[in-house]
Chains A and B, each alone.
Chain A
């Protein structure tokens, strides 16, 4: 049975393009143009994953509201936010209402597909027991590459998919500098330097929320970032 994806996007051309691309991969896609039509359908039957555009119609917050509603209907459903806006505040707000990841609209379809696949994988594996072989340990850091989760000093760190990929890229080779291009490749995204900086900042803050003394991600100015070895 193919997985069901719901796309909520008000721009018809984009909506249809995304839907076609995902169908070609093999997903069962339902596309909605408005928040209300999507919600009505969700109340009847939930999809397996939702891709939501933040700027639905005239209301700039329709997407946020939809996310919140959807999250309240299902705490585990993977939600991916799309938006033309790439301002930090929108990313943060989107993630705060419960989305799992954030992507700008000018991302390529392969990047979108990679994310969706990973989100599905993560969702599936979250219910099955963790296997020790999947975990990479770097000091207090434990990365479960299959389930795409991270733990710091035993406590789970709530990273988005993009953030997980970045931490993974850094921590796999501690002490090596990863430049921005490398990080972007690993995170299946193409963004400008400022966005990378914001992602890294957010990652640091999430770790620091658990452990205020966290300083393992070092900025190497002019080169990139590095996971500090023990």
Chain B
């Protein structure tokens, strides 16, 4: 399962805002539609206006001196069409003298106007589809490559008939010649521009004698659309970047706070489960502060419980001493007053029970007394090798049924601490090893590791259950089969850990590498060389 930090999650959520650019594109397209409609209507209006000016002029169409025959070549005069001047056929010039003025005005736009008769011959022609080259590059032209992904850029480099030939029979002209004004659009032959065309019938009486055809590219609309989109895009990108940066910073700060809380939480308890103090940051006024406070509360309760449990044993022992003394002194008195023989076995058994109780009591208070002893023990420098060697000799006598093997380097191993307490710790380790050994030798080993010394006690026997190694060091945890005469209270390894920690070392239990037993390791720092 891959880990997804808060910042990554935030960035995922932020992808929602990628909809913004899409919105911008849609806006631009909408704008384009609006502008297109406007253009269509304008062109239609222009066509209509020109057509109206030409209504009811039969002579316009009677004198068929066309500019261009339906299938003829363009005369030289049409060269002027590209220029600003409209070109009219003779008939048109006579029939409608003001036509030239009208058309003249219109050539100032980007529209091309043609007046055709029923045979699609051109009677007049003005304007050009192409207009002046594009405006100066906008300040945002660096966006062009990106925008080209979404929007076509208008270009004046297209190829279309320049209107000098006869009018092609597009749909709108056909409709107009049938009396219906129409607009349409087509793509140029090289597909680089779109041309909008509007046609309006010219009536003479109640017959359509011709049509006005007004054409324009959509380039102006496209240019306008693109300009609007550019601005919008720039703003959106800026907002996205600033917003993302701000949110990322916030997420970073938030995740840093949470990580700090996690670190503080880890550090708030030391290895023995002692609480070091309330968490810093418990006065923040938001949910993280709440979390810190509630965790501090939990820790405080935990500490209270832990200290209650610790003192449980010694408080219990203390309470038990007095009744124990009552029973013992009573038994002693019974023995001393000359008793008949009959109750004697009962006296003996009562005495044995009492002794066992006293032994349990002693064990229960051992850990607490050890802490006390550690507190006011004078630290001295002693040779760990010496102490261990001496102890092992003692164990050989105390546990004659088990062979002991000691391996230690030939050098001195100076340690600062309380030697008798370290000896006590070793006693516990060996006691454990002997109790669990099912055979073989108890191996005690000392090894120097840099500035520390490693003491191991290893026995053959059942391996540790998985995941149990740490628990064994907790007080009152025992994996011992309860068969001995003195019930084991599970304090041995707890004492080992206390002593190791107070000497600034560590204790751990592992299964042996050969899988046939358990090895308990204590690592202690060596005294600094003098």
Interface residues of A, Cβ cutoff 8 Å to B: 11, 13-14, 17-18, 20-21, 24, 84-89, 104-106, 108-110, 190, 192-194, 197-198, 219-223
Contacts and interface: CB of A to CB of B under 8 A. Distances in A.
B512 interface: no
B373 A219 contact: no
A219 B420 contact: yes
B366 A109 contact: no
Nearest to B370: A194
Given A105-B321, A190-B358, A222-B394, 4 more contacts: A13-B329, A18-B329, A221-B387, A221-B388
A198 B373 contact: yes
Contacts of A84: 318, 321-322, 325
A87 B325 contact: no
B332 A110 contact: yes
Contacts of B2: none
A102 B486 CA distance: 28
A221 B326 contact: no
Contacts of A17: 326, 329-330, 332-333
A193 B395 CA distance: 15
B332 A87 contact: no
A85 to B, nearest CB: 7
User: By CB atoms of chain B within 10 A, which of A11, A17, A198 has the most?
Assistant: A17
24 contacts: A11-B326, A13-B330, A14-B322, A20-B333, A21-B332, A84-B318, A84-B325, A88-B376, A106-B324, A106-B361, A108-B328, A108-B332, A109-B332, A190-B358, A192-B362, A194-B370, A198-B373, A220-B390, A221-B394, A221-B420, A221-B423, A222-B390, A222-B423, A222-B426
A104 B329 CA distance: 12
Contacts of A13: 326, 329-330
Contact of A105 (B325, B391, B395): B325
Nearest to B337: A24
Given A13-B330, A219-B420, A222-B392, A24 B321 contact: no
Nearest to A193: B424
Nearest to A20: B333
Interface of B: 318, 321-322, 324-326, 328-330, 332-333, 336-337, 358, 361-362, 365-366, 369-370, 372-373, 376, 386-388, 390-395, 397, 419-420, 423-424, 426
Instruction: List the 6 shortest-distance A-B pairs measured between CB atoms, nearest first.
Output: A222-B394, A222-B391, A17-B329, A109-B332, A105-B325, A221-B390
Given A221-B420, A222-B390, A106 B325 contact: yes
Contact of A85 (B318, B325, B424): B318
B434 to A, nearest CB: 14
A8 to B, nearest CB: 15
Contacts of A11: 322, 325-326
B357 to A, nearest CB: 9
Contacts of A219: 419-420
B424 A106 contact: no
A197 B373 contact: yes
User: By CB atoms of chain A within 10 A, which of B332, B358, B376 has the most?
Assistant: B332
Contact of A194 (B326, B337, B373, B426): B373
A87 B373 CA distance: 9
A223 B394 contact: yes
Contacts of B318: 84-85
A87 B317 CA distance: 12
Nearest to A200: B420
A193 B398 CA distance: 15
B366 A194 contact: yes
A219 B420 CA distance: 8
A105 to B, nearest CB: 4
Contacts of B373: 88, 194, 197-198
A85 B322 CA distance: 10
Given A85-B318, A88-B373, A221-B423, A21 B336 contact: yes
A85 B325 CA distance: 12
Contacts of A106: 321, 324-325, 328, 358, 361
A185 B189 CA distance: 123
A223 B420 contact: no
Contacts of B325: 11, 14, 84, 105-106
A26 to B, nearest CB: 12
B319 to A, nearest CB: 9
A71 B322 CA distance: 26
A104 B332 contact: no
Contacts of A197: 373, 420
A207 B424 CA distance: 25
A86 B369 CA distance: 9
User: By CB atoms of chain B within 10 A, which of A21, A108, A221 has the most?
Assistant: A221
A221 B391 contact: yes
A109 B322 CA distance: 14
A148 B386 CA distance: 35
Contacts of A109: 328-329, 332-333, 336
Contacts of B329: 13-14, 17-18, 21, 109
A197 B366 CA distance: 13
Contacts of B390: 220-223
Contacts of A108: 328, 332
A190 B330 CA distance: 18
A193 B390 CA distance: 17
Contacts of A89: 372
B336 A24 contact: yes
Contact of A88 (B337, B372, B393): B372
Contacts of B392: 222
A29 B259 CA distance: 71
A18 B332 CA distance: 10
User: By CB atoms of chain A within 10 A, which of B366, B420, B423 has the most?
Assistant: B420
A80 to B, nearest CB: 15
A4 to B, nearest CB: 20
